[in-house]
Each structure stands twice: as C-alpha cells, then as structure tokens.
C-alpha cells in the first residue's frame, strides 16, 4: 500500500544549499546551546524539498526552542539514542515548545547530531510519507554537526532515521508555516512593482463559485470589513479592483471599488440575523476630494459589453430578516454638499435604459409589478421620473419655471388635485344656424369612461342661451338661441380609475415600529392631523394606546422575532 503523502507540503531545504548553521566540533560530548539561525531561500526563489510542493503560506517566527534532545532521559522527546537504520516519529505540535498551532504545515528546524558511533547520514520526512533519497546531514564517527531545514509534517509529525550508524539527535525550532496567524499578528507585504499587482491571485478553475481572493470575518464587529482596499486620491487609482476578462474599461476618475461583469462586478452580503448595526455588504466612501467631485465615486457598478442587458452593476438585496438602517433597504445612499447618495446615468446615445430603477417583484410569476424610474429613456422619449403604476406623494406636485427678470426667484405652479382621476379637453367653437358639433379627440376617447362626462359652455361676445343637446365619446351636440362664439371644456374620468374612492383603508402613515417618530417631511397641518387621529402623541412619539388597540404592537413584535430568527 502506498504511504499516505501530506496533502500540503512546503518542503525541506537541501543541506548543500540551505546550511544556515554549519559548525563541526570533534568531541565526544559538547555543550550545544539553543541558537537562532536564518531561514534561507535560494536566490532563484525555488526550494529543494524532501516532499511534495504545495501552496505558499505565511512563515511565523518563534523564539528558538529545543524540542528534542535524545541525551536526556528516555521519553517521547528524549532518549534513547537513535539506533542505526531505525525510524523515530516526533509530533512537534505536542512537544515541549508551546504555542505551535495545529494548523502548522511545515517547520523551520535545526538538526544537530552528536556522539555519532560512525559514519552515516540523517534522513527527515513527514510521517507516513515516502522516504526521501536525499539526506539532511552527513556525519562521520565522533562528529558534532548541525544543519537547518524546512520540513513538512503530517498532522504536526515528522519521522527521522539515522542511516548506517547510531547517533544522538537534537532538534530546535525557530518558526513554522501556517495559514493561521497568531492573535494580534498580521501578514504585511511591502514592495515596489511597476504596472502590476504586488499580490496577484489567479484561479483557473471553471467551476461556479470559484474565487481568486476571499475575505471572511468570523464575527460581526462594528465597522469590520472582510476585504479593505485603500488607494491615494488620484485618477484611475483603485482601493479594490475586480475585473472579469472581456469587459470594457472604467470611467475616468478615482473609485473606491470597481466591479464589471454579467452577474455583478461587486457582490456584498451582510448577516441577516443577529447582525450588529453598521455591518454592510459593500461600503464605498469618497473623502477629502479637492478636485471636481463628479469623477469620484465610493462604489460604481458596470454592466457592459456583449449581453450586458443580463448583467447588473450593483445589486442591493434585503432578505427576510434584516435589521434597520432604516429597516430593510437594499441600497442606501447618503449625499451632501450638493451631491447625491446614489447616481445613475443613461448615456444619451443609448437606445433605451433606466438610470435608477426600483420595483415591486412578484416571485410566483417572476415579474415586476409597480416600479419607479429615475432617468428613463426609450427611443426618442425621455423622462427624468417615470412611474410604472401608481404615483403617490404627500406634498404638492410642482412644475418650476425661471423668473423672467429676477435671478433669485422662480415660478412654481402646482398640479390640480381632486377626488377623482380626471381627464379633460377644451377649445372654442361657434354655432351656425343655432347649432354646433364638438368632435371628441381620439386620445380623450381612448382613456375616458363614457359615464360621468360633463361639459361647460361659455358664450363669448354677446348674450345668448346655449346648451348641450347630446353627448358621448364621439361627438357633443350644442344648440344656442342665436349664433354665437363660445368656449367649452369637457371633463371626464379615466376608465381604469372610474371606481376610485378618495377615502379608503391605508397604511402609508402607520408607524414602522414603536420607536418611530412623527414624520417631519409632512406639512404642519398633516402632522397635526396624525396627532388628532391618534397615530402619534403631541411630542412626536407613537401613541401606544392606538398601537395596542389596532394590533400594530403585535405586528412589530412578530417582525422583531422573525428578524432575530436563525437563517435557514
């Protein structure tokens, strides 16, 4: 049966090229103190090994310590003397040198032979592995000699054989290789590499879920980050740069994180249960910007190139148990000093596009319901704001025009409001022979319900009696006591909203939790109405009596329990 080889082996260095200590003392017995030595690497960067070569891991230095001395009393790390052509196993992790983690895969060791019975050599290898064809130390009779080597291990255990002749053995350690660093210690790399990455990771696996670099936090500390990238403020500098081969370039400027890809360039996930406030999937920040801030962004997401319609630049997702930022927001942007928190752009040369899109999604039919768009282009039609479905608001609907003479004033007109979804058209006509016909425009006919049409007529220029004789969605017949010019306005109701009731059940102003406050975005009269109807108290806090009576308190408690429940 083939011996089991170590799944990860960094290797041991050849004695000919790796002798960090090389003293030869010809004596039957000498005092051999524990000394430090250099962990050497050949100039060409390669390692000669006594086993398989695996992936690189950090080297963790320790205070030089003696693990084995066979001159001591008989024991796992003491005597007896190594007999000729026999193998002894030493578990370095469980030895007298403490603080070596179980994750250690290779060890920086110094081997010393002394009181040798004759000529021979020492062979070292991971326990259970194949016996190497190279030696760690060659010795002669009565010689004391040492050599340093990096030795891979199997679960912390190495095997040592003294070939040909017996000898006493000393093993000292000054460090180990492990993917796990000691507490409070970090892996720090500093270098100067032109036009390339200081650290480069490439994963050639075609399997889904394969990653080149992964950062993981085992807890949820406030302001913690699994991966953090910091770059100086300048053009085309990146804190973290994620690139999928085949995508196009990036906009000009300084970017905290850039991601480009069909499925999303940057994907961030924060814990959905028991999370600490302040933990985010992806955080982008721009600060101390002294130049034109238009070209600076904390996070930018691009979906470009072939089939880019299937891609997403940035995804903000809220699960079933999230804790508030306010509660349950997929993407939150906070702006100031004239700049917005979230910036979406549709290129004017594009045939169509949505700069920022928010919608209600129905999972059962895999379809979008109501949606809102900021920056919408479809062919030759463009809108700053477009609503797919109902549009609601608590304030007035303004359109704003510049003042013709005062640069510090504007003209604000307010949209007409009423209890129905009204339609209208108007114009001017004249009766001839005491009669006139008003043709209903096709566009009005398409959207207006035939019931409830009203017509206002106003004679112009002289007194006359004028009346509507008949009306429908095709034509309106007008009769007058004499021929006269007249103005008319025809009003109706949209077909889709003919049964609209202005007073109805609604939860738009229901507090989201017991800690909610009276909304300050409302006009003063509306705020007072929420106090008068018992939703809030006069001091702005939730009216708990109303909340208990209407069952809001129970709903809040159930949502809080669901938010803290473990995710499945």
Is 402 a member of any domain?
A: no
Kindly state whether residues 475 and 540 are assigned to the same domain: no
Together in a domain, 20 and 167: yes
Beta bridge partners of 460: 485
Long-range contacts of 478-483 (CB under 8 A, 24+ apart): 478/429, 478/431, 478/435, 478/436, 478/437, 478/438, 479/431, 479/434, 479/435, 480/431, 480/434, 480/435, 480/436, 481/434, 482/431, 482/434, 483/430, 483/431, 483/432, 483/433, 483/434
- Cis omega before residue 80 (within 30°)? yes
pLDDT band at 74 (very low <50, low <70, confident <90, very high): very high
Q: What is the DSSP letter of 98?
A: -
Count Cα neighbours of 62 within 13 Å in the Cβ-side half-sphere. 23
The tokens 């604000």 sit on which residue? 412
pLDDT at 380: 85
Lowest mean pLDDT among 134-143, 188-197, 321-330, 383-392: 321-330
Residue 518 has pLDDT above 60, yes or no: yes
| Whether residue 155 sits in one domain with residue 112 | yes
19 shares its domain with 99: yes
pLDDT given at position 60:
85
Whether residue 26 sits in one domain with residue 170: yes
Instruction: Check whether 564 has a pLDDT greater than 80.
Output: no
**What is the pLDDT at residue 246?**
47
Q: Is residue 222 part of a domain?
A: no
CA distances from 71 to 388, 404, 434, 523, 565 (A): 86, 103, 132, 90, 60
Residue 22 CB-density burial (10 A; 0-12 exposed, 13-18 middle, 19+ buried): exposed
Name the 3-class secondary structure at 358.
strand
Residue 23: pLDDT band (50, 70, 90) is very low
Instruction: Assess if residue 323 is contained within a domain.
Output: no
Which structural domain, as residue segments, surrounds residue 370? 350-391
Share of the chain above pLDDT 90, in %: 44
Indicate whether 356 and 461 sit together in one domain.
no
The whole-number pLDDT of residue 5 equals 34
Question: In this structure, is residue 531 part of a structural domain?
Answer: yes
For the ranges 14-28, 135-149, 205-219, the lowest mean pLDDT is seen at: 14-28
Q: Which of the residue ranges 230-244, 271-285, 425-439, 451-465 would you say has the lowest mean pLDDT?
A: 271-285
Q: Does one domain contain both 63 and 143? A: yes
Does residue 132 belong to any structural domain of this protein? yes
Question: Are the C-beta atoms of residues 478 and 431 closer than 8 Å to each other?
Answer: yes
Burial class of residue 177 in the structure, from the number of CB atoms within 10 Å of its CB (0-12 exposed, 13-18 middle, 19+ buried) = buried
Q: How would residue 293 be classed by pLDDT, with cut points 50, 70 and 90?
A: very low
Q: Is the pLDDT of residue 361 over 80?
A: no
Supply the pLDDT for residue 144.
95
517 found inside a domain: no
What are 411-453's pLDDT values in tens digits? 999 999 999 999 999 999 999 999 999 999 999 999 999 998 9
Sort strands 352-362 and 367-378 into parallel, antiparallel or unpaired.
Answer: antiparallel
The torsion angles phi and psi of 375, rounded to 5 degrees, stand at 85, 85
Residue 81 covered by a domain: yes
Q: How far is CA 146 from CA 13, 365, 463, in A?
A: 14, 75, 126
User: Which range has highest mean pLDDT (65-74, 273-282, 495-504)?
Assistant: 65-74
* CATH code of the domain in which 128 resides: 2.60.120
Structure tokens at 163: 């070939």
Residues 258 and 128 both lie in one domain: no
42/147 same-domain check:
yes
Distance from chain centroid for Cα 449:
50
| pLDDT band at residue 561 using 50, 70 and 90 as cut-offs | confident
Q: Are residues 33 and 173 in the same domain?
A: yes
Residues 46 and 133 in one domain: yes
Give the pLDDT mean for 39-65: 60
Q: Within 13 Å, how many C-alpha atoms sit on residue 101's CB side?
A: 14
Count of structural domains, the chain: 5
Asked if residue 324 has pLDDT above 70, the reply is no
Residue 193 lies in a domain: no
> Is 364 in the same domain as 488?
no
Which pLDDT score is estimated for 349?
A: 81
Rounded to whole angstroms, the Cα distance separating 458 from 407 reads 39
- Distance, in Å, from the CA atom of 14 to the CA atom of 212, rounded to the nearest integer, reads 32
CB 5 within 8 A of CB 52: yes
Question: What phi-psi label fits residue 175: left (phi over 0), alpha (psi between -120 and 50 degrees) or beta?
Answer: left
For residue 379, what pLDDT is reported?
87
251 neighbors 242 (Cβ within 8 angstroms): no
End position of a domain, from candidates 158, 177, 196: 177
Q: How confident is the model at residue 356 (pLDDT cuts 50, 70, 90)?
A: confident
Question: Which class for 388: exposed (0-12), middle (13-18), buried (19 or more C-beta within 10 A)?
Answer: middle
* DSSP E strands, 415-534: 422-430, 435-439, 454-460, 466-471, 475-480, 485-493
1: pLDDT strictly greater than 70: no
């Amino acid at each position: 049966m083939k011996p089991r080889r170590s799944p990860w082996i960094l290797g041991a260095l050849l004695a000919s090229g790796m002798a960090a200590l090389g003293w030869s003392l010809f004596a039957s017995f000498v005092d051999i103190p524990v000394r430090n030595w250099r962990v050497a690497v050949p100039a060409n960067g390669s390692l000669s090994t006594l086993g398989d070569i695996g992936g690189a891991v950090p080297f963790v230095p320790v205070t030089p310590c003696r693990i084995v001395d066979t001159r001591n009393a008989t024991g796992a790390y003491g005597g007896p003397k190594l007999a000729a052509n026999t193998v002894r196993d030493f578990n370095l992790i469980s030895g007298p040198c403490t603080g070596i983690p179980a994750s250690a895969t290779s060890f920086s060791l110094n081997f010393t032979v002394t009181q040798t019975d004759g000529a021979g050599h020492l062979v070292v290898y991971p326990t259970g592995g194949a016996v190497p064809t190279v030696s760690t130390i060659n010795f002669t009779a009565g010689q004391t000699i040492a050599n340093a080597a990096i030795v891979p291990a199997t679960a912390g255990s190495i095997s040592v054989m003294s070939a040909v002749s017996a000898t006493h053995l000393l093993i000292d350690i000054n460090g180990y290789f492990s993917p796990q660093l000691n507490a409070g210690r970090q892996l720090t790399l500093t270098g100067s590499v032109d036009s390339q990455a200081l650290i480069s990771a490439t994963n050639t696996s075609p399997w889904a879920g394969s990653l080149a670099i992964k950062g993981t936090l085992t807890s949820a500390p406030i302001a913690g980050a699994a991966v953090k990238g910091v770059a100086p403020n300048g053009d085309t500098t990146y804190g973290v740069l994620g690139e999928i081969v085949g995508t196009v370039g990036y906009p000009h400027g300084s970017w905290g994180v850039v991601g480009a890809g069909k499925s999303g360039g940057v994907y961030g996930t924060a814990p959905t249960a028991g999370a600490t406030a302040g933990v985010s999937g992806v955080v982008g920040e721009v600060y101390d910007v002294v130049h034109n801030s238009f070209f600076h962004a904390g996070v930018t997401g691009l979906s470009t190139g072939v089939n880019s319609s299937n891609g997403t630049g940035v995804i903000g997702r809220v699960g079933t148990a999230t804790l508030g930022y306010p509660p349950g927001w997929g993407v939150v942007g906070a702006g100031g000093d004239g700049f917005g928190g979230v910036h979406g752009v549709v290129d004017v040369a594009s045939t169509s596009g949505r700069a920022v899109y928010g919608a209600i999604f129905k999972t059962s039919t895999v379809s979008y319901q109501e949606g809102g768009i900021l920056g919408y282009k479809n062919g030759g039609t463009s809108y700053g704001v477009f609503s797919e479905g109902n549009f609601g608001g608590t304030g007035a609907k303004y359109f704003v025009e510049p003042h013709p003479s005062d640069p510090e004033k504007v003209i604000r007109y307010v949209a007409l409001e009423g209890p129905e979804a009204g339609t209208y058209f108007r114009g001017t006509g004249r009766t001839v022979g005491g009669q006139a016909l008003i043709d209903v425009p096709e566009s009005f006919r398409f959207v207006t319900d035939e019931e409830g049409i009203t017509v206002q007529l106003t004679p112009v220029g002289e007194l006359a009696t004028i009346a509507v004789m008949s009306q429908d969605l095709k034509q309106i017949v007008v009769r007058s006591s004499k021929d006269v010019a007249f103005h008319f306005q025809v009003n109706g109701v949209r077909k889709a909203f003919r049964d609209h009731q202005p007073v109805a059940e609604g939860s738009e102003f229901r507090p989201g939790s017991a800690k909610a406050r009276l909304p300050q975005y409302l006009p003063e009269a509306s705020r007072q109405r929420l106090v008068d109807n018992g939703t809030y108290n006069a001091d702005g806090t939730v009216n708990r009596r109303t909340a208990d009576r209407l069952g809001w308190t129970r709903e809040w408690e159930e949502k809080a329990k669901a938010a803290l429940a473990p995710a499945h």
